Amino acid sequence: MPIKRGGGHQRIIARLRMRAFDTMNPAQRALWYIESHLAEPMTLDQIAAISGVSRFHIVHAFAAATGLPVMRYVRARRLSKAARSLANGAPDILSLALEADYGSHEAFTRAFRDQFGVTPEAVRAATCTGHLKLQEPILMDSTMLDNLKAPRFETAKAFLVAGISERIACDNGAAIPELWHRFHREVDEIPARVGNVAYGVCCNGDDAGNFDYIAGIEVADFSDLPRQFGRIRIPEQRYAVFTHSEHVASIRRTVNTIWNQWLPASGLKAADAPNFERYDEKFDPSTGNGGFEIWIPVRE
């Protein structure tokens, strides 16, 4: 029997949409909300609440799934939409600025130039966007593992890590292999070394998706550490410890699965503390094979 149009039809559609929403992971929920509310004011807190996780969690989950910071994606989508309107001859730049959540023509122009390298007026005069790198909507695919092994749980005592450090944007993960290359060249210069385990530590993350990455080793103290090396104290913390058995190049898929599938279903929360990869003697840095562990800080 065909469904009658009207209130009942709308309720059925709403239930179907809610059912689909309930099956989404945090990054998918964030994308849905962003794309559905581009023309409205939007904060990271709102996106996290809609996604059902904390600010800290959604920053990591979104970056793991898309390779982009949440709010940078929001900005790029809004500016791309504005660029298309300008190319189509939109006469009022201030109206576009307000729609993109900028309070003035000047603020909008600065952001637009930072994003595309040209002014809004230049795009309107050119009447096309072919020369711009627009941010298209991201379509989530199934980039997660089907067979993520259950983690073990450990409470690790505090320890010190020293090594090669750099501030990394989540869409610039290509910088991390170079850090490891430098680490292997300079590791013998790090004093007070403890053991032969190497650590890739992600810490000091911000809401924009930037974080400090340290390719390093455990040390007994920092007293004689040369200034060119980064350092961090890892606090005592409970961790969910995952084994990554595949080549190191596929780590993003495992991390995506942890943050967007396992953690939301686990009943645990991500603790606001450093997370890290742990590479023991079985890992071969020359080939990327041998496997390693991913330690995610958790709390009840």
Domain with CATH 1.10.10.60 in the chain: 72-126
Which is it for the CA torsion 22, 74, 140, 296, positive or negative?
A: negative
Domain with CATH 3.20.80.10 in the chain: 152-299
pLDDT score of 287 more than 50: yes
pLDDT bin (cut points 50, 70, 90) of residue 280 is very high
pLDDT of residue 177: 83
Region 256-263: what's the mean pLDDT?
A: 93
Count other C-beta atoms under 10 Å from residue 48's C-beta. 24
Calculate ∠ Cα 32-38-39, nearest 5°: 145
CATH number of 72-126: 1.10.10.60
Hunting for tokens 């390693």 — which residue is that? 292
Count other C-beta atoms under 10 Å from residue 45's C-beta. 12
Find the range with the poorest average confidence among 79-88, 110-119, 175-184. 175-184
Q: Report helix, strand or coil for 79.
A: helix
The helix, strand and coil proportions of the chain, stated in percent and rounded to the nearest 5, come to 40, 20, 35
For the chain, the average pLDDT equals 88
Minimal CA–CA distance to 214: which of 180, 170, 248?
180
| 120-179 pLDDT per residue, tens | 999 999 999 989 999 988 876 556 777 899 999 999 999 999 999 999 987 777 678 888
Rounded distance, CA 248 to CA 159, Å?
Answer: 24
What the block records as the tokens of 152 is: 């073990």
pLDDT of residue 67: 86
Rounded distance, CA 219 to CA 228, Å?
Answer: 15
Q: How far is CA 87 from CA 38, 97, 125, 156, 199, in A?
A: 19, 15, 7, 56, 49
Q: How far is CA 257 from CA 6, 172, 252, 268, 273, in A?
A: 40, 20, 9, 15, 19
CA-based R_g, the chain, Å: 23
Considering the domain 152-299, what is its CATH architecture? Alpha-Beta Barrel (3.20)
Region 73-96: what's the mean pLDDT?
A: 92
pLDDT score of 300 more than 50: yes
Minimal CA–CA distance to 214: which of 279, 160, 162, 273?
162
pLDDT score of 13 more than 80: no
Rounded distance, CA 248 to CA 87, Å?
Answer: 43
More confident residue, 36 or 68: 68
| 201-224 pLDDT per residue, tens | 999 998 888 899 999 999 999 999
Q: Do the Cβ atoms of 116 and 76 come closer than 8 Å?
A: no
pLDDT score of 231 more than 50: yes
> What pTM did the predictor assign?
0.73
pLDDT of residue 252: 84
User: Residues with Cβ < 8 Å from 218, sequence gap 6 or more?
Assistant: 159, 160, 161, 193, 194, 195, 197, 199
